[in-house]
Amino acid sequence: MSTGYLYEPLPDVADGLRLHLNENSDGCAPAVLNALRRLTRHQVAWYPAYEAATNAVARYFDVPADTVLLTNGLDEGILTLALAAFPRSEGEASAVVVEPAYGMYGPSAALAGARVVPAHPHADLSFSLDAVRSALAPDTRLVMLSNPNNPAGHVIADEVILELTKAAGPDTLVFVDEAYADFAGISSIGSLAAAPNLVIGRTFAKAYGLAGLRIGCLLAAAPIIRRLRGAIAPFSVNVFAATALVAALEERGHLAWYLRQVEAARSVFFRAFDQMGLPYWRSRANFVLVRVGDAPRVRARLAERNIHVRDRSTAPGCEGCIRVTAGLPDEAEACVRALEEVLCDEPR
């Protein structure tokens, strides 16, 4: 059976400046490695316990513990959500995927048996509530979007998210992927109590620097979390990830410092792109989408200089664009210098 969708993995990158996956370029907090070193041989031998990590997440986001589901990366959360939203529905129900979309949404919904209906953004790639409203149908069971969005980095106001949950109706789950919410200082977690069909996804891969450990979570009303548990393996999060998460959430200083670095790096890119006359989006996340012309060629030339960026030129509305991660300001400066060299001998 072909779903018509395939999530394409990127080739491994051995060394150089990794500005292609929006990772934390400083690394995890040192406290995380210390916590991992304290694990005993027995703890590694036992099936993992989740109470401590679940309670830590609940305290951190100020929500009840029965509204939290830990997942093996948010990617697993997305797949779990799709499986739970479309039980045994061979094309009889639909998922509305808000474009531009993260690469897992469509494939996961299609794999679960949903018809995938795209909802297109405004010309500047910002969110269009009207487009989502028109895409909603009586058989829509799931709406998937990300806030801030990827790859432009636009933010959707919380009131608009609430309006969308009402427009979708009680039988349709509205998934808001907040993978980059820390960088923007926004969240709809405070709306969970008012919106029983809202599901929020968070990852500790980006701002918290735990991408290699694979840890994320879904937050939703307790009845939805119980439904989601029926679609996920009971021990999908390993003991290292659960341990690291508790340590990372206790270490607020490192996160606050890193968020300031990202903001400074973003400004480096904004200023440089202004000077170079390159069109870009004023992202609130830890990446900037910029129109460089021949994006595949620019990506390849930067890779020759050991700077890895993402070619997003095939995404709708992103023609000629690359996406660069904003990590530390020095890295942004290095990327800008290399980009200037590359564009100098680039026919445009």
From residue 183, alpha-carbon distances to 5, 156, 178, 207, 259 in Å are: 30, 14, 10, 7, 6
* Near ligand PLP in 169-188, by CB under 6 A: 177, 179
Residues with Cβ < 8 Å from 29, sequence gap 6 or more? 208, 209, 247, 248, 251, 254, 255
- What is the number of residues in the chain? 348
* Near ligand PLP in 87-106, by CB under 6 A: 102
Query: Could you say whether residue 146 binds ligand PLP (CB under 6 A)?
Result: yes
If you search the block for the tokens 């939203």, which residue do you land on?
Answer: 85
Residues with Cβ < 8 Å from 226, sequence gap 6 or more? none
Stretch that binds ligand PLP, among 31-39, 205-213, 305-313, 339-347 (CB under 6 A): 205-213
Say if CB 280 and CB 124 are below 8 A apart: no
Q: Indicate the residue among 97 and 338 with the shorter CB distance to ligand PLP.
A: 97
Q: Indicate the residue among 103 and 293 with the shorter CB distance to ligand PLP.
A: 103
Number of separate helices (H) and strands (E) present in the chain: 13, 12
Per CB under 6 A, the list member of 53, 75, 172, 225 interacting with ligand PLP is 75
CB of 342 to ligand PLP, least distance (A): 25
Query: Could you say whether residue 147 binds ligand PLP (CB under 6 A)?
Result: no
**Per-residue contact flags (x/-) with ligand PLP for residues 314 to 333, judged by CB under 6 A:** --------------------
From residue 316, alpha-carbon distances to 118, 124, 131, 309, 321 in Å are: 11, 11, 15, 18, 11
Query: Could you say whether residue 211 binds ligand PLP (CB under 6 A)?
Result: yes
CB of 205 to ligand PLP, least distance (A): 3
Interface positions with ligand PLP (CB under 6 A): 22, 73-75, 102, 146, 150, 177, 179, 203, 205-206, 211, 216
